[in-house]
Amino acid sequence: MRDMSWIEDEFLRILRRVQREFQEIEESIRRVAEKEISTGCLEPLCDLTVTESEVIVTIDLPGVEKENISLTATKDTLEVRAKSSREFRVRRWGLSSEEKAFREFHTRVRLPVQVEPESARARFRNGVLEVRLPRAIKGVKIEVK
């Protein structure tokens, strides 16, 4: 039986580490939710795809009209603000429950590569915003004559 004690110790050590990691994840989710509740804005679902020529950012904006979307791009970020025509309700549980209504979306996406913001194109269809940002040219080869 003595040989098995190190296995039990290792198992308990791993279990404690997994519990700590889950607590950190839960705390992170709670912080994001509290931020959204305090600002009155929801952070929309977002997907990022990088190709050889461009960065494609796809954002879910349900209940939003094209006219109510504001985009700002820099070389390495994309900021999206949008107002929804319908209200979204979120209920927070704990010692006391609280319900909060949202009508705005906001997110700032850090882009993994530099882009040319002035050449960006955006399309909005069926509640989904797609922003295409051409990658910045890293450099141009110069021929020596």
- Residues 28 and 51 both lie in one domain: no
- Residues 125 and 110 both lie in one domain: yes
Structural domain span for residue 8: 1-39
- Residues 84 and 30 both lie in one domain: no
For residue 93, give both structure tokens.
């549980």
36 Cβ contact partners less than 8 Å away, ≥ 6 residues apart:
42, 43, 90, 102
Q: CA angle at residue 47 from 21 to 27, to 5 degrees?
A: 25
Q: CA angle at residue 101 from 99 to 102, to 5 degrees?
A: 140
Which pLDDT value is given to residue 46? 95
- Residues 61 and 100 both lie in one domain: yes
- Mean pLDDT of all residues in 40-67: 92
Residues 57, 110 contacting (CB under 8 angstroms)? no
Question: Which residue do the tokens 């985009």 mark?
Answer: 71
Task: Identify the band that residue 129 occupies on the pLDDT scale cut at 50, 70 and 90.
Answer: very high
| Segment 80-93, tens digit of pLDDT | 999 988 877 767 65
Which pLDDT value is given to residue 7? 85
Asked whether residue 19 is assigned to any structural domain, the reply reads yes
| Segment 17-38, tens digit of pLDDT | 999 998 988 887 777 666 655 5
- Residues 67 and 128 both lie in one domain: yes
- Mean pLDDT of all residues in 87-104: 69
Mean pLDDT of the chain: 86
- Residues 61 and 123 both lie in one domain: yes
Query: How many domains is the chain partitioned into structurally?
Result: 2
Question: Phi and psi dihedrals of 111, rounded to 5?
Answer: -85, 140
- Residues 117 and 128 both lie in one domain: yes
Which pLDDT value is given to residue 92? 63
For residue 42, give both structure tokens.
């929801």
- Residues 78 and 132 both lie in one domain: yes
Q: Is residue 105 scored above 70 in pLDDT? A: yes
Q: Is residue 128 scored above 90 in pLDDT? A: yes
